[in-house]
Amino acid sequence: MTRSIIHLNVADFAVAVERIVDRRLQNRPMIVAPLGSARAVVYDMSEEAYQCGIRKHMPLRMARRLCPDASVLHPHPDRYERAMRALLKQALPYSPLVEAGDGDGHLFVDTTGTGRLFGPPVDIAWRLHRQVKTDLGLDPIWSVAPNKLLAKAATRLVKPVGEYVVGAGEEAVFLAPLPIRLVPGLERDDLDRLKAFNFTRVSQVMALSLEHLQVPFGNRARFLYEAVRGIDSSPVLPAGRPGPAVISDHDFDDDTNEPAALESALYGMAEHAGRRLRRQRRAARRISVALDYSDGIRSIRQAAATPATAHDLTLFKAARQALNLARARRLRIRHMRLTCDRLVFPPAQMALFPEDRQNREKQDRMGDAIDRVRSRFGKDMIHVGRTLAA
């Protein structure tokens, strides 16, 4: 049976919620960012601010220079969580398979096989849009497609307002003329590398075989090959089910509190988590480290990955930050767990500065070479130096 996936996307979700609370903010440039912090970055922005060049995670000082007339509001995560719960409540009557984003205004609804009860998927999507707009005051973009990747690409295409329907068998026709940045799942390193080859449209990448892509992209080649052809078998998770996570564990042969041994084990766990994330075509936004001490006490700390990533070294840096926070006792550690959650499609945003892009490209080439050696000869055939202490 051909799947039918509805994707609802409330563009600039935090801004949309704040405008419901204060109607005076309508049609004005607006930035949501922490106030009173010297290193504050943009949490969200309105379409008017976006047109001025403001992007998520941009330093607030730079954003103010680009758009001095923008109103700056402090983020209210509790409001956004309540709005997401209300959005989820609107969709649940139509399907038990409703997957909500992490407070970002995104909602996938699997309406496969529900036609006898509620009519065609397009009618369900239109009805959902009307109910959300009437009951909640939000105006979501919506799309209907055979899988999640195509549905998300369709809402990206019509953002900030509109709707789109991708029929079964129309994958290539729909994707071919699109800018490559609209394909979900591509990280900014992928976009930078494609730009280096002067590839800007999906049709250009679609013309390459898997063998051609493996030369510059290594372990990312399979994902690119399938993504530009609209292939995605990932399911819509049931409502209420905990979000997906990648978990890696390490038991120490002898309890230890040596920083070198802890970081060595942590890097190996970050590599394992990175490989699994890349296979799932996801990126993690939150990294957690749990330490079990010799006396049975557990300490858990978290760090944010901004932007979301599946890159080994970036995962390790966030994990090391969480590890340093969790090591609050002098006792030795028996077991360590690394959890990568709040998984999302990697953000399609290129690096702001060329030097950052060059450094990431070097790291990616090294990571790709290591992955190729391990996939051919086994994971124990090559090690990063910092892992030897474990």
Residues 329, 77: Cα–Cα separation, whole Å? 31
- Domain 173-227 shares a fold with domain 246-387: no
- Average pLDDT over the chain reads 86
Instruction: Please give the share of the chain, as a percent, with pLDDT higher than 90.
Output: 54
Render pLDDT for 131-176 as a digit per residue (tens, 0 to 9): 999 999 999 999 999 999 999 999 999 988 899 999 999 999 999 9
Q: Which CATH superfamily includes the segment(s) 246-387? A: DNA polymerase, Y-family, little finger domain (3.30.1490.100)
Determine the CATH number of domain 173-227. Answer: 1.10.150.20
Domain boundaries of the chain, sorted by first residue: 20-76, 173-227, 246-387
DSSP letter for each residue of 189-236: HHHHHHHHTT--BHHHHHTS-HHHHHHHHGGGHHHHHHHTTT---PPP
Whether omega before 346 lies within 30 degrees of 0, making that bond cis, reads no
| CB neighbours of residue 333 within 10 Å | 23
Domain 20-76 belongs to what topology?
A: MutS, DNA mismatch repair protein, domain I (3.40.1170)
Judging by beta carbons within 10 Å of its beta carbon (0-12, 13-18, 19+), is residue 13 exposed, middle or buried? buried
Residues 86, 67: Cα–Cα separation, whole Å? 32
List the single range of 86-100, 116-130, 215-229, 371-385 with lowest mean pLDDT.
371-385
Q: What is the mean pLDDT of residues 352-374?
A: 60
Q: What is the pLDDT of residue 97?
A: 93
Q: Single out the residue of 139, 175, 141, 165 nearest to residue 155, CA to CA.
A: 141
* Torsion angles phi and psi, residue 381, rounded to 5: -80, -15
**Does the pLDDT of residue 357 top 60, yes or no?**
no
pTM tops 0.85, yes or no: no
Q: What is the pLDDT of residue 313?
A: 86
Q: What is the pLDDT of residue 111?
A: 95
Judging by beta carbons within 10 Å of its beta carbon (0-12, 13-18, 19+), is residue 94 exposed, middle or buried? buried
